[in-house]
Amino acid sequence: MPTPDYLHLFRLLPHNYLLLQPDGTIVDNSDKHVGVSMLGREQAVGRNIFDAYPSAPESQRDLNESHEYVRQHKQPHTMPLTRYDLLRPEAEGGGFEQRYWRITHYPVLDGNGELLYILQHPEDVTAQHVADEQRRVAEQALLLAQQRALFTLEALPMMVWTAQPDGIIDYFNQRWLSFTGIKPAEDTTQSWQSVIHPDDLPRLSRDWGQAIAERRPYEVEFRMRRHDGLYRWVLARTVPQQQPDGSVGLWVGSGVDIHEQKQLVQELTEANEQQLLLSDQAYQAAKLAQSQRETFYNLFMQAPALIAIVRGPQYVFEFANPPYQELFASAELLGRTVLDVVPEAAEQGFIALLDNVYQTGEPFYGTAMPLQLHRRATGVIEERYFDFAYQPFRENGQIVGIFSFAFDVTERERMRQQLDRLSGTNDPAHA
């Protein structure tokens, strides 16, 4: 039987292997190692490992400590995740390429138990490490966004709550808890019903259930028991967060105490019919002012989202919160048209989207849509990505403008694209 060609077999091993003399001189390596190390075998064999594969001093020190462990104990040694950058060939641009490895060193002993060689098995885990790090950064960003959203809800000068798609309440802010006197530890999923006036609860429950079924905003006035036992009139509005497929992701509600306004209306109503008309107008004006001032202005101005309202078929800016202003370098927006502020929006299709919403009344929802902004001060074209919604804005049943609500997801989209590129490439160790 012919003697196997062990050198040939060694070089064909399906993993990265580097055979070293005890002093670190390279004896041979597998074909897989040749590929991943970016250095030809003839350029490596006979040289010290740190001469053939130079890297940062701390990386070489850690590797040498593992070698020393094997030399002293004659036992395998596995290093923790290790960064050991490799020199890139000049034909590929030169410089060092960042690499992360899981490395195990095995002793090769003779019949007397003396160390003949050190067999290094380095596994290139760079792609996995980069992906894990990017995932960690993305998770931290998500956690920060959630913390900011919770802070915003707690800081708003109104009662705020959220509900699951099926209408089950899962959150009340501190202002609601302070108003009702309900403790945070209590089961708030059902306890909210206990503070609604018994005469109002059937109507409120019925209309709320219908709004859930129809996936539409819900506005209602009802009496709610305050912590001192007195019932106060509250104006509440709950809106659904629409998903791209039309389903509801969650409900967000807000409430303000309108008891004084309600009492004013009652007193004027009892006076005479003329006063009724005047009081109704006063009440409606007070309610609108209260709603706009507290529900819209404070919420929109403090929200981390980009919020704007444009009016008329020319889309004249009527409102823009600070994040929206910052997108356009804090330029004055109010009173100007969208085309005047962002002329490039037309050729990118955004004016057509506004036209469709304004003419049909159908809202539009965009996910990770790119917008190229021409920074005229510098001449730079900046591309950003947004999740956004265009909602028709009505007065007296007629569409008079469009409400824009957006999140800047540029960093998230760039990380997703980078992850896609990483997942689509082969591991260099298996090239």
**pLDDT tens for residues 250-259?**
998 888 888 8
Residue 80 tokens read as 């923790």
Residue 175 · residue 158 · CB < 8 Å:
yes
pLDDT at 427 exceeding the cut of 60: no
Q: If you ran DSSP here, which 8-state letter would residue 396 be given?
A: T
Give pLDDT tens digits for 43-75: 999 999 999 999 999 999 999 999 999 999 999
Residue 359: name the closest of 400, 320, 331 by CA: 400
Listed by start position, the domains of the chain span 6-124, 132-302, 306-418
The count of C-alpha atoms lying within 13 angstroms of the C-alpha of 257, restricted to the half-sphere facing its C-beta, is: 14
**Which pLDDT score, from 0 to 100, does residue 155 have?**
62
**Which pLDDT score, from 0 to 100, does residue 426 have?**
43
Given the structure tokens 């959150």, which residue do they identify? Answer: 171
Residue 427 tokens read as 């591991």
Phi and psi, residue 88, nearest 5°: -85, 135
**Which pLDDT score, from 0 to 100, does residue 431 have?**
34
Rounded-to-integer distance, Cα 429 and Cα 397, Å: 65
Given the structure tokens 């019919």, which residue do they identify? Answer: 273
| Average confidence (pLDDT) over 307-324 | 90
| Average confidence (pLDDT) over 372-401 | 88
| Average confidence (pLDDT) over 212-219 | 92
- Reduced to 3 states, what is the DSSP secondary structure of residue 365? strand
Q: Per CATH, the architecture of 306-418 is what?
A: 2-Layer Sandwich (3.30)
pLDDT at 98 exceeding the cut of 70: yes
**Which pLDDT score, from 0 to 100, does residue 430 have?**
35
Residue 167: name the closest of 189, 145, 143 by CA: 189
Homologous superfamily, domain 132-302: PAS domain (3.30.450.20)
| Average confidence (pLDDT) over 223-227 | 92
**Which pLDDT score, from 0 to 100, does residue 284 have?**
61
**Which pLDDT score, from 0 to 100, does residue 131 have?**
87
- Reduced to 3 states, what is the DSSP secondary structure of residue 400? strand
Among 279-288, 329-338, 421-430, the range of highest mean pLDDT: 329-338
Number of H helices, E strands in the chain: 17, 18
DSSP string, 109-140: E-TTS-EEEEEEEEEE-HHHHHHHHHHHHHHH
pLDDT at 150 exceeding the cut of 80: no
**Which pLDDT score, from 0 to 100, does residue 296 have?**
56
Residue 307 tokens read as 């919020």
Residue 410: name the closest of 402, 418, 401, 421 by CA: 418
Rounded-to-integer distance, Cα 60 and Cα 85, Å: 10
Topology of the domain comprising 6-124: Beta-Lactamase (3.30.450)
Residue 254 · residue 292 · CB < 8 Å:
no
DSSP string, 260-305: HHHHHHHHHHHH-HHHHHHHHHHHHHHHHHHIIIIIIIIHHHH-SS
What rounded mean pLDDT belongs to the chain? 85
Rounded-to-integer distance, Cα 151 and Cα 155, Å: 6
Residue 303 tokens read as 């929200």
| Average confidence (pLDDT) over 20-28 | 95
